[in-house]
Structure 1
Amino acid sequence: MEDQKIVQRNLELQRQWYGEPLGDRVRRLVVAFDVSQANLADVLGISAPMLSQVMSGRRAKIGNPSVLARLIMLERKVLTPEVASGRREALQKALEDVRDSKPTVSRDMLPVDPGRADRAALAVLRRAASVDELTEAARLLDGRFPAIAEVLRRAGALT
């Protein structure tokens, strides 16, 4: 029973530190990149047993800041049109890019501005489609999905 309390405490700490349990974040990456947990561990620069312990809550944190930085890099790559397409070669290139990276963690890497994620999402849309395409898509969706249409209009307004 004591182990279960430790796991629950660690999962709660992960929610506080990382926004959600790391197991959830890692599982999404395993699915998005269609790789094994061991392969993902290799890309992140962490041993497979250590990743398993973090995912299950037997460990609370990722101790190496570069591993956390690579995890974040992969999460951001999922949002790019190339990776989102699901093409095997694009997925493999993204994994290789992250594996080969030598990230450093600085205060500039961690967002302080809550609107930063929104702007990043709009920028991804802007890279995926032209202003005319975004405007036309917004027009088509306006009647049934006005909130989505507004996001597309905002993306089209970026310069």
Structure 2
Amino acid sequence: MAVWQYLLIVVPKNSIDNNYECIFKNNKTKYLPETDSFWKNFGGDIPSIISEMDQIIPKANWGNDTCLNWKGNGNTDEDNDACICLSDNKSKIESFQFRIDLRKACNITAVLQSILNLCEKNQLVLIDLKGEIFQPNLEDILKSIKASNATRFLSDPIQFFEDLSKNSSDETRA
């Protein structure tokens, strides 16, 4: 993940009550928790979701039939990407996440907004790296974007790395 990218995890809205607390709030690792249990009861139109993603971000030249990837053009500051992993028989989504390149405003106003529209249409919600849940509403997500490391880096890269170095030193001493 590039430091200028902002990541969101997508899950079905109706799965949050049953699974959220035990999966995200109890995650003690440095890694994102598995989200396949969020998708167990999702009955949405998977081919339609994939087709719509094809219209938002170009398909990447890697992946396979069960791990679908999309990738924008990093050379033009459009380093947006997405990944949907499917079950072996392609009948269920196991995970869905995407990253938005914050270097250009149009990535937020066009790409992010298009994905939010897809999420709203399919009754999906979003979770940021801090575990906060968002409805597919740009105003709410903007607060998380503004507080993200990606925004901190883009605002002041030198200070971002100095803070990172300081935090590493503090952890080494602890």
TM-score clears 0.5: no
**Higher relative contact order, structure no. (Cα contacts within 8 Å, ≥ 6 residues apart):** 2
TM-score by length of 2: 0.25
**Higher helix proportion, which one?**
1
TM-score by length of 1: 0.27
